[in-house]
Amino acid sequence: QVQLQESGPGLVKPSETLSLTCSVSGGSTTTYYWNWIRQTPGKSLEWLAHIYSSGYTNYNPSLRGRAAISVDTSKTQFSLKLNSVTAADTAVYYCASGYGFFDFWGQGTLVTVSS
Amino acid sequence: EIVLTQSPATLSLSPGDTATLSCRASQNVNTYLAWYQQKPGQAPSLLIYAASNTATGIPTRFIGSGSGTDFTLTISSLEPEDFAVYYCQQRSNWLYTFGQGTKLEIK
């Protein structure tokens, strides 16, 4: 069974770049789609981006070009960078696997944007 | 962007009851619809994919149905561990969206 674990700073200053990494175990990042999803306090879920092992990516247009997703197949990790963050980017960020639906999820990591 | 509207926002039932949760899409999503359960402090977990296929390890009391724009998640004989928040999610090309959730609470 695939297991995912997010890591990254819990606090980011406004206008800076949020960087998160998802470590994958029990599976290979050389196949399949890898996703980032966030959940803002008291609100629903928002899909942010996905990447296939070939490097094919797609992003939610709501991010307005601020995001970059990458995969390191040698380390079985994938990452998300989100620049020019504001308080609106404060959320629990999840990594997840799947295309069409999300079958395995990390436990989530809270990122707070504040000075 | 396809909008998913879930109803009701909150559903109050007792263990042993049957829960019926609705998800309506603003456009046709065929059967590209999934359902998730989320308990406090946990990540969502997949229940149903492709509208009616039960994910591995999910009890048979969880049944998904529908196609096009109208979908239903039915949970029969509610167990105490079923009280949680439920989300629907669709895939339109490569853009995914979620509903706002239905909270299933104990009456």
Distance from CA of A113 to the nearest CA of B (A): 20
Q: Is there a contact between A45 and B46 if contact means CB atoms under 8 Å apart? A: no
Mean pLDDT of B44-62: 97
Pairing of strands B19-25, B4-7: antiparallel
In whole angstroms, how far apart are CA B89 and each of A45, A81, B12, B76, B86?
9, 24, 22, 21, 10
Is there a contact between B60 and B101 (Cβ–Cβ < 8 Å)? no
CA separation for the pair A112, B61 (Å, rounded) = 38
pLDDT value of position B5: 98
Of the candidates A50, A99, A105, the beta carbon closest to that of B44 is on A105
By the 8 A CB rule, do A94 and A39 touch?
yes
Full DSSP string of A33-61: EEEEEEE-TTS-EEEEEEEETTS-EEE-G
pLDDT digits (tens, 9 = 90+) for B6-48: 999 999 999 999 999 999 999 999 999 999 999 999 999 999 9
What radius of gyration do chain A's Cα atoms show?
Answer: 13
Contact residues, chain B, for A93 at CB < 8 Å: none
Measured between beta carbons, the chain A residues lying within 8 angstroms of B100 are 43-44
Write down the pLDDT at residue A114: 96
